[in-house]
Amino acid sequence: MKKSTMTLLSALLVAPMMTFAGSMMSEAPDKAEVYFVQPSDGETVGQTVKVVFGLRNMGVAPAGIDKKNTGHHHLLIDTDVPADLSKPLPATDKIKHFGGGQTETEIELAPGTHTLQLLLGNHAHVPHSTPVVSDKITITVK
Ligand SMILES: [Cu+2]
């Protein structure tokens, strides 16, 4: 097989995959808003922290369920929102997925200052085309 034919074949194989990756992103309604019900920004808390997630103008759906205007929560602990939001969010000890559709959790934090932020992801853990992200709050653990 000629090299040029090989190149063409590779292009044909890769192109649909790129289209697929692009379609992993979902639209979010303009007024969608994610926020912390608790704790509050600046609050001093114990080492076991109850975190309650709030969501307006969108619904919560478990990971894997592709339903318009829904997503599931991700809690970012002591980290920034990833630079590339076109890919599924990684699962790390700083990025917690709530793929079961949970709207609250309890986390253990060491004494000191910590930041928390919420980021909604779609059925495939990809943030929406307009990211639905909360303010980053700072709490003090005593
Ligand atoms: Cu996720």
Given a cut of 80, whether residue 10 has pLDDT beyond it is: no
Compute the distance between CA of residue 101 and CA of residue 109 in angstroms, rounded to an integer: 23
**What's the pLDDT band for 6 if we cut at 50, 70, 90?**
very low
Give 121 Cα–ligand 1 centroid separation in angstroms.
6
Give 12 Cα–ligand 1 centroid separation in angstroms.
31
Give 125 Cα–ligand 1 centroid separation in angstroms.
4
Task: Give the pLDDT score at 11.
Answer: 44
Fold of 2-141: Immunoglobulin-like (2.60.40)
What is the reported pTM?
0.84
Q: Region 3-30: what's the mean pLDDT? A: 59
Give 6 Cα–ligand 1 centroid separation in angstroms.
37
Give 65 Cα–ligand 1 centroid separation in angstroms.
12
**Residues in the chain, total:** 142
Question: How do beta strands 59-60 and 70-77 pair?
Answer: parallel
Give 33 Cα–ligand 1 centroid separation in angstroms.
17
Give 124 Cα–ligand 1 centroid separation in angstroms.
7
pLDDT tens per residue across span 115-140: 999 999 999 999 999 999 999 999 99
pLDDT tens per residue across span 17-55: 444 445 689 999 999 999 999 999 999 999 999 999 999
Residue closest to 96 by CA, chosen among 69, 116, 70: 116
- Kindly report the three-state secondary structure assignment for every residue of 58-105: CEECCCCCCCCCEEEEEEEECCCCCCCCCCCCCCCCCEEECCCCCCEE
SS3 138: strand
Task: Give the pLDDT score at 22.
Answer: 52
pLDDT tens per residue across span 68-116: 999 999 999 999 999 999 999 999 999 999 999 999 999 999 999 999 9
Domain boundaries, the chain: 2-141
Give 2 Cα–ligand 1 centroid separation in angstroms.
44
